[in-house]
Structure 1
Amino acid sequence: MAGIATTCYYLTLSSTSTRKTWLELKTNYGRATPIRRRNLSIRAEVNFVNAEEAKKLIAVEGYAVVDVRDKSQFDRAHIKSCYHVPLFIENTDNDPGTIVKRTLHNNFSGLFFGLPFTKLNPEFVQSVKSQFSPESKLLLVCQEGLRSTAAANKLEQAGFQNIACITSGLQTVKPGTFDSVGKAELQDAGKAGLVTIQGKISAVLGTVLICAYLFITLFPDQAEKLLQMSPVR
């Protein structure tokens, strides 16, 4: 009489410092079978908050602020007592390809928007690790929210467990929300180049045109006399 086949399941969970868990499943049908191993990754979720919530994280929960913007934006304005660890650094490489790209950048984006030509900071994760432990509570900030999200993903992969970011970045922060250092407001630290000058010129011209329109509308006789006084060629 044939023996009755039995099935046994063994479930083994083991955690490591890198927050990875292995699921081991062994099935036995009366004979030796290979063990199947599946790798499951457990990752901490990044906490996305607004400016007011971020302020509470700093004051109440002890989050440290890590500014991941480039040096130019950081120098214009940054949160007081923050740590500066740029995700991108200025690219000063002199290989032919980089020189061409840098020239094109400086003649367009650099000129109009004041953006430096940068590259990914290869020491970013290590720089953060040298100052904080994986259990540290970190609030990552940038100007638009994209760099802080990318930085959070890198730190998450490196084992950091308590990370928060400001949704849409410092550009959404109202004046006075944080104590800041620099000549500009935090929300304006990303503005530079000819765009800002053009904006100022447009504002002045707009004001002049509006004043002229109001003058002609409210004082038509005086406006007509002024026009008659202007030289006609």
Structure 2
Amino acid sequence: MLSNLRTSWLSTRTVPHRRTYPGKQVLQRKFGIRAEINFVNVEEAKKLTADDGYVIVDVRDKSQFDRAHIKSCYHVPLFIQNEDNDLGTIIKRTVHNNFSGLFFGLPFTKPNPEFVQSVKAQFSPQTKLLLVCQEGLRSAAAADKLEKAGFENIACITSGLQSVKPGTFESVGSGELQDAGKAGLVQIQGKISAVLGTVLICAYLFITLFPDQAEKLLQMVPSS
């Protein structure tokens, strides 16, 4: 049995009561349990796709999807590139690109108005869907939209693809699934820090293991 977290929602709708009174219409509420959304870990998600027939739908934006995605998944972004040209959007896009875009490589997006319809065009409400994103937030929001639209079998990876270890899923792209959300100057800085750290460690080991050779090398450095 999967040790997952399930959420269900109690929905209500108001309908006219069959009994009527002069000059009055009596309303009653009907209660029903809406479909469950399963929040699973990576191992459970793997089992859902391998054994239970779940179809993977990637709801990330195109930039993260292109960096790395699960092979044979479907891509239906919850957010799309915002290329509107009204003054307010232009200002927001400029501010975004000079900060979040530059440092974190995040695109300037807006909600995809065709998200639910795009999913409906490809899958029936009975299709078992595993929704994935990078951190788990967008897939949860997407699951809520699809659940309200009538989809009955939805699962999400709780912490997103950032928690997927290399080799868990067969992937396509230039990087690993867990790193697909990293871009911009932060990623470059991280690479520089890793290189410098490696150099310093090697230098320390060289000085420790070969002190005589290290001293000769230091004597060869011109003094300022």
TM range (shorter): 0.7 to 0.9
- Give the corresponding residue for 2:190: 199
Q: Deviations over 1:67-86 (max 9, x none)?
A: 10001111111111111100
2:154 counterpart SS class? strand
Contact 1:23–1:37 (Cα < 8 Å) also in 2: yes
Is 1:222–2:189 an aligned residue pair? no
Going from structure 1 to structure 2, the CA distance change for 1:72 and 1:135 (only over 3 Å counts) comes to: same
1:65-214 alignment to 2 at 5 Å?
A: 65-214=56-205
Going from structure 1 to structure 2, the CA distance change for 1:93 and 1:20 (only over 3 Å counts) comes to: same
1:130 counterpart SS class? helix
Q: CA deviation at 1:224?
A: 2.3
Q: CA separation in 2, counterparts of 1:107 and 1:83?
A: 31
Q: CA deviation at 1:36?
A: 4.4
Q: CA separation in 1, counterparts of 2:184 and 2:32?
A: 44
- Give the corresponding residue for 2:52: 61
Q: One-letter code of the match for 1:126?
A: Q
Q: Deviations over 1:101-138 (max 9, x none)?
A: 11111111111111111000000011111111111111
Q: CA deviation at 1:39?
A: 4.6
| Identity rate, percent | 78
Contact 1:22–1:40 (Cα < 8 Å) also in 2: no
Q: CA separation in 2, counterparts of 1:225 and 1:136?
A: 71
Is 1:232–2:223 an aligned residue pair? yes
Going from structure 1 to structure 2, the CA distance change for 1:59 and 1:20 (only over 3 Å counts) comes to: farther
1:232 counterpart SS class? coil
Contact 1:23–1:40 (Cα < 8 Å) also in 2: no
Q: CA separation in 2, counterparts of 1:124 and 1:25?
A: 36
Q: One-letter code of the match for 1:125?
A: V
Q: Which has the larger radius of gyration?
A: 1
- Number of aligned pairs? 213
Contact 1:138–1:162 (Cα < 8 Å) also in 2: yes
RMSD between aligned residues: 2.4
Q: CA separation in 2, counterparts of 1:211 and 1:184?
A: 27
Q: CA separation in 1, counterparts of 2:100 and 2:169?
A: 29
2:122 counterpart SS class? coil
What is the TM-score with the length of structure 2 in the denominator? 0.87
Q: Deviations over 1:42-70 (max 9, x none)?
A: 22121011122112211222111111000
Contact 1:21–1:42 (Cα < 8 Å) also in 2: no
Greater CA drift, 38-47 or 101-110:
38-47
Name structure 2 gaps, 5 residues minimum: 1-10
Contact 2:70–2:169 (Cα < 8 Å) also in 1: yes
What is the TM-score with the length of structure 1 in the denominator? 0.84
Q: CA separation in 1, counterparts of 2:15 and 2:25?
A: 14
Q: One-letter code of the match for 2:133?
A: C
Greater CA drift, 170-179 or 213-222:
213-222
